Structure 1
Amino acid sequence: MVVKLFLFILLLDGASSALDTRNGSNEIAVVEKAYLKWVKQMASFKHSLFQKPENKFKPCLKLRVRKKPRFGDFRTVQKAIKSVPAVNLCRVVISIGAGTFREKVEIPPTMAYITLVGAGADKTIIEWDDTADRMGPSGHPLGTFASATFAVNSPYFIAKNITFKNKAPLPPSGALGKQAVALRISADTAAFIGCKFFGAQDTLYDHIGRHYFKDCYIEGSVDFIFGNGLSLYKDCHLNAIGSSYGALTAQRRQSMLEETGFSFVNCKVTGSGALYLGRAWGTFSRVVFAYTYMDKIITPKGWYDWGDKNREMTVFYGQYKCSGPGAEFERRVSWSRELTTEEAKPFMSVDFIDGHVWLPTS
């Protein structure tokens, strides 16, 4: 385990570049490619972290992060995380006090069962301002993958009542290299309750794994929820801040065999600009909106095929009993779907993400 992790770190340090895959390039970011290769290797081992989900909720360790040292164990979130055993096998609860914590945070792959609890999403804020074109320590651009303010690479992560923010300014339309991720979740079985995510282009990188977002606020301009996760967004507020055309989702399902996709249930979409519900980043991109209020900012067509007509035959884009001035289905693209009750049912509950197995009950 330690040897594999060391080799992975070396591979990251030696990455020659981190090209964004959504700027018309067919190359995958080197850093992301290295990470996914490592995950695949680890998944082939009979290791407890990668078997059928068996979450743990009873804490074995509690830590406090506070701006004032005398009130806590640590002054920064990253230092608290670094104090946890490298291979962690029990629930660690880290409470984070009120204040703005200006730091870039990453949780390594072996450090499972981490819970972060803030004093309130408007009170506890973790922020940074990296962009994809910013030079990293290796002298190469960070790329979208490494631009994240907060990056989670370990399973069974839980965050409650925290704001994750990328403070990079809203880029002009068509600007290159300005992807700026607030949070990247690159691991299975993660839950975010009452959290807020602020950014512009590429706010929330819903990368890989099964995820649950409940009572969250997510703000951005272009592709501000993107990736290839299998994720349920319940009772969330999605707010666009663009001044021209933008897109809410860019889901990257690449094969009909992949059980990934985004489902939005009982959500609200508001904001400015003209917003597509989604762009087909993946050939088999899958996104569903159910019982969701859509403001007038939603473009009548609703969806964009990423300039590839072939994707219109393979994507799965649907809505079910949505409301609001932007929810009218009559003018949607012909290759989207107005779902029946039977078609919508698999996307409506936590069963979509096998949540009854691994989600906390409170």
Structure 2
Amino acid sequence: MFCSNNGIRRSPSSSANIIRLASLLLLAIMFLSGHVVFCDDTTPIPADAGGVNRWFSANVKPVADSKGCLDPALAVAEESPQVIKVRKDGSGDFSKICDAINSIPSENKKRVIIWIGAGEYVEKLKIEYAKPFITFYGSPDAMPTISYSGTAYEYGTVDSASLIVESDYFMAANIIIKNCAPRPDGKRKGAQAVALRISGTKAAFYNVRIIGFQDTLCDDKGVHFYKDCYIEGTVDFIFGRAKSLYLNTELHVLGDTGVTVITAQARDTPTEDCGYSFVHCRITGVGTGAYLGRAWMASPRVIFAYTNMGSVVNPAGWDNNLKPEREKSVYFAEYKCSGPGSNPSERVKYTKQLSEAEVRPFISLGYIQGTKWVLPPPAL
């Protein structure tokens, strides 16, 4: 026998029955009010590349199965998405992508899917901050291309992008984004040219090909997710101060002439919460001297996990950008990478080979708080 705080004496078996009844009642209430949604940001991406898509399906659910986890504004936006068709032959709602963007009202609160037909759209596009919840969708069998030839000389580096996204909750699937300006030769002033600048937060990219030379992708700010993408370039072709997770993405280096660098992550201080995490990616290309990253700013944070590195990778791996004092503040790290470019014995001394415990924060959706906003691509 025992005595509860209110002085009522009950037997242990009686108390256990009350607890069981209360649990059953709670489960009944949850069942009647709708299915139970579990939000798990912590499940790590598996070491086996063959398990990546299973992990994705288990952790990135459609809207109907994840409403209890999503940001409230996003859950509302996804309730009744609108589809706008863009077709070059005039059979859609618009023949130009810019006209479709202009048709969306500012402060839009609903998901708008701009379904882009096959072909090349030579347009310089900008989605301003006041237009959230926009998706660019192309057919995986006939991916459309957005291309332009803007350069830093004409527009400034970050505004040279063929596509600029400043709004939140952007998504793109099955799209080619390209800057077709000529490859910089070291002689022409301002020849660097961005294909995509993403400055809004909570953006996801699926099967997107981002093509350029120097400064291809300005992964500018916010949290972002890339899966099954292809990014091509020469120097600093992924740069900025976003906090991004790249999964099963190919990084293709166009080397042979001059210095080649994949990342120029722009974290200024060790306390700034940003950085790039590449998981189950592939580094391919031509040449043998590509650095995984350089210390463009004082405290860049870049991690490669389970990544296959071709011989295009420089054995040293990383570069201090001629600023040896930054070797103390960079966070350049690798975990269980493979391929001829992954040999840790030849790496610079200031890089880290992570332990299992150290890598865990960088190989789950928790790194970008993904259960609050990452959704699978639409199927049209």
Q: TM-score range by the shorter chain?
A: 0.7 to 0.9
Cα gap change, 1:121 to 1:197, in 2 (>3 Å): farther
The aligned residue for residue 345 of structure 1 is 360
- What residue identity is the alignment partner of 1:345? R
Task: Give, in angstroms, the shift of residue 118 of structure 1.
Answer: 0.8
Q: Which residue of 1 aligns with 2:177?
A: 164
Question: Residues 350 and 356 of structure 1 are in contact (CA less than 8 Å); yes or no, is this contact kept in structure 2?
Answer: yes
Q: Determine whether 1:73 maps to 2:93.
A: yes
Pair 1:90 & 2:104 matched: no
Aligned pairs for 1:186-201 (under 5 A) are 186-201=199-214
Q: Which has the larger radius of gyration?
A: 2
* 1:208-241 CA-partner distances (Å, limit 9, x unpaired): 0000000000000000000000000000011011
Give the CA deviation at 1:242.
Answer: 2.3
1:216/1:83 CA distance change after superposition, 3 Å: same
Which of the numbers 264, 268, 275 marks the counterpart of 2:278?
Answer: 264
Structure 1 residue 62 corresponds to structure 2 residue 83: yes
Q: Which residue of 1 is the match for residue 120 of structure 2?
A: 100
Deviation at 1:317, TM superposition (A): 0.4
Change in 2 beyond 3 A, CA 1:344/1:175:
farther
Of the three residues 288, 313, 320, the one matched with 2:303 is 288
Superposed counterparts of 1:102-251, under 5 Å: 102-120=122-140, 123-134=143-154, 142-173=155-186, 176-244=189-257, 245-251=259-265
In the TM superposition, what is the alpha-carbon distance from 1:53 to its structure 2 partner? 7.3
- Given the two structures, how large is their TM-score scaled by the length of structure 1? 0.81
Match of 1:34? none
SS state of the match for residue 290, structure 2? strand
- Aligned residues of 1:132 and 1:179 also touching (Cα < 8 A): yes
Report if aligned partners of 1:296, 1:324 keep a CA contact under 8 Å in 2.
Answer: yes
Give 1:361 shift.
4.1
Using the alignment, how far apart are the partners of 1:175 and 1:122 within structure 2?
A: 35
Tell me if structure 2 keeps the 8 A contact 1:247–1:276: yes
- The residue that corresponds to 1:137 in the other structure is none
Q: What do residues 20-48 of structure 1 show as CA deviations (whole Å, max 9, x unaligned)? A: xxxxxxxxxxxxxxxxxxxxxxxxxxxxx
Q: Distance in 1 between matches of 2:72 and 2:270?
A: 24
Q: Distance in 2 between matches of 1:296 and 1:105?
A: 36
Match of 1:360 in 2: 375
8 Å CA contact retained: 1:251, 1:287 = yes
Q: Distance in 2 between matches of 1:317 and 1:307?
A: 16
Q: Matched residue of 1:187: which SS?
A: coil
Change (3 A) 1:198 1:339: same
C-alpha separation in 1, matches of 2:142 and 2:347: 36
Greater length-normalized contact order (CA 8 Å, ≥ 6 residues apart) = 2
Calculate the aligned-residue CA RMSD, in Å. 1.6
Counterpart Cα distance in 1 of 2:141 and 2:106: 28
| Structure 2: distance between partners of 1:122 and 1:241 | 25
Measured in 1, the distance between the counterparts of 2:294 and 2:100 equals 38
Q: Which residue does the alignment assign to 1:42?
A: none
Contact 1:53 1:358 (C-alpha < 8 Å) held by counterparts: no
Q: Deviations over 1:45-75 (max 9, x none)?
A: xxxxxxx674233344210000011x20001
- Take 1:243 and 1:227, find their aligned partners in 2: how far apart are those partners? 25
- Following TM superposition, by how much is the alpha carbon of 1:247 offset from its aligned partner in structure 2, in angstroms? 0.2
Secondary structure of the 1:188 match is coil
Report the Cα distance in structure 2 between the residues aligned to 1:312 and 1:54, rounded to whole angstroms: 42
Q: CA deviation at 1:122?
A: 5.7
* Cα deviation digits, residues 69-105 of structure 1 (max 9, x gap): 1x20001111100000011111111100000001000
Q: Which runs of 5+ in 2 are unaligned?
A: 1-70
Q: Which ranges in structure 1 are unaligned for 5 or more consecutive residues?
A: 1-51, 135-141
